[in-house]
Amino acid sequence: MPNQSLNHLVCCGLLFLGVLFSSPACALEIVAGPCLQNPTETSMSIVWVTDVNCTSWVEYGSSEQALDRKAFAGSHGLIDADQTIHRITIEGLFPASTCYYRICSKEILKFEAYKVTYGQTLTGDVCHFNTLSKNKPDFSFIVLNDIHQRNDLFKKLAEQSASRPYDLVFLNGDIISDINNTSQIIDYVLKPCADLFAKTTPMIYVRGNHETRGKYARMLPDYLVLPNGRFYFAFDHGPVRFIIMDGGEDKTDDNPAYSGLVDFDRYRIQQKHWLQKQIQSEAFQKALFKIVVVHMPPVASQQWHGSDHLYELWRPLFNEAKIDLMICGHTHKYEVIQPKPGVSEYPVMIGGKPADKEATVIRVDVTRDKLDAVMTTDEGATVGTYQVLRRPPAL
């Protein structure tokens, strides 16, 4: 064989090997995200998942052309590294401001004590979000519940809501049916959220009873950014103080289905004590509207321990606090429960179930004078409305 042909063959072989080993099929990829979470007036958290271990950061700034700042996550002086779940918080923003950002991940091929070998770096598309503001005079939000892994319904409800803008999306529990592997959290929460709205609009996760089930229920918080690390918290946006609570499971703690591994009675009492302090807070007292979002309605059932426990423990405090609106799921029966003096003195809007024509999205339009809540099915039928007028100031 002439030398020229041999050289050509060697070159082709090397090229083939080069293509083989740098093939895009082996490339670092974003599995899910970015998904905005835990919004505040001055910060936003961004969560995404990569297919291989990386160290990650977010580049951000006040315009698409000026991503001149960098945020990363870490603790104890160590920047997070060698992991596939990336949770980074941008801090120091201004209320009601627009922030442009892009996620970046750098693959870690080998992590040795005195040398880290990096692979590819991946940079996401530029996206943007708005921070919250107590001074915003009006805004809207939507609530989805009991999707139970029906991504088709998730998509339908979210797309149907997209015709008018909204600032927040609440996932009000039982989005996952039980958590037997972490891919369910990615496939049924992070991916649909990011693909449908959460690159620009933050998602607020309200845990349902089904998300307490399964071995990997204990890892759900690893994929979320929860205020103070808890599933119960409060925050403000516009004239609303939101109270998010976690009702735990519906059956008694000693039910054989839980194998002695749940402690929800004590957890609900802990939240009662938190709620007592919360309703005395200045932020709560000053808010023009108070909205509670909780998966399991605190309605006496005479059948389900969880609901009955909430009815006894939390309902008197909600009455005392003069809650304006409660939004729930769980029962798989959409309805609007009118306020009942001396019983539950606030309206409760309960979303639907994971079935065609019976899944719902609740949209609430907020102004400084009123709340307008409308519940619509995946087919676009309005199946519940409620209007709350601002209460006159206390004398």
Q: Which residues bind Fe ion (CB under 5 A)?
A: 174, 208-209, 330
The CB-of-294 to Fe ion minimum distance in angstroms stands at 11
Q: Which is nearer to Fe ion, 88 or 175 (CB)?
A: 175
Whole-number minimum distance, CB 266 to Fe ion, in Å? 20
Write out 253-281 in H/E/C secondary structure. Answer: CCCHHHCCCCCHHHHHHHHHHHHHHHHHC
Query: Whole-number minimum distance, CB 290 to Fe ion, in Å?
Result: 23
Terminal-to-terminal C-alpha distance of the chain:
102
Of 86, 165, 106, 177, which Cα lies nearest the Cα of 130? Answer: 165
Task: Give the C-alpha separation, 351 to 295, whole Å.
Answer: 10
Burial 156-188 (b: 16+ CB within 10 A, else e): bbbebbeeeebbbbbbbbbbbbbbeebebbbbb
CB of 174 to Fe ion, least distance (A): 4
DSSP string, 6-39: HHHHHHHHHHHHHHHHT-GGGS--EEEEEEEES-
Joined together, the tokens standing for residue 379 give 């087919």
User: Residue 22 or residue 180: which is nearer to Fe ion going by CB?
Assistant: 180
Q: Are 46 and 39 in contact (CB under 8 A)?
A: no
- Distance in Å, CB of 22 to Fe ion, minimum: 48
Nearer to Fe ion, 184 or 209 (CB): 209
Instruction: Choose between 246 and 378: whose C-beta lies nearer to Fe ion.
Output: 246
Output the CA torsion 63→67→69→72 (10° steps): 120
Q: Which is nearer to Fe ion, 237 or 330 (CB)?
A: 330
CB of 173 to Fe ion, least distance (A): 6
**Nearer to Fe ion among residue 100 and residue 258 (C-beta):** 258
Decide whether 41 or 174 has the Cβ nearer to Fe ion.
174
CA distance 43 to 47: 13
Strand ranges for 297-379 from DSSP E: 325-328, 335-337, 348-350, 360-366, 370-377
Phi, psi dihedrals of residue 15, rounded to the nearest 5°: -65, -40
* Alpha helix stretches (DSSP H) within 293-365: 305-313, 315-320
When the beta carbons of 179 and 371 are compared against Fe ion, the nearer one is 179
Cβ distance to Fe ion smaller for residue 3 or 302: 302
Nearest approach, Cβ of residue 210 and Fe ion (Å): 6
Instruction: Output b/e per residue, 205-216; b: 16+ Cβ within 10 A.
Output: bbbbbbbbbbeb
* Closest residue to Fe ion, based on beta-carbon distance: 330
The minimum distance between CB 204 and Fe ion, in angstroms, equals: 17
> Which distant-in-sequence residues (6+ apart) come within 8 Å of 7 by Cβ?
none
Identify the residue whose tokens are 């998010």: 244
Distance from CA of residue 325 to its chain's centroid? 20
When the beta carbons of 34 and 247 are compared against Fe ion, the nearer one is: 247
Tell me the closest approach of the beta carbon of residue 225 to Fe ion, in angstroms: 23
Least distance CB 209 / Fe ion (angstroms): 4
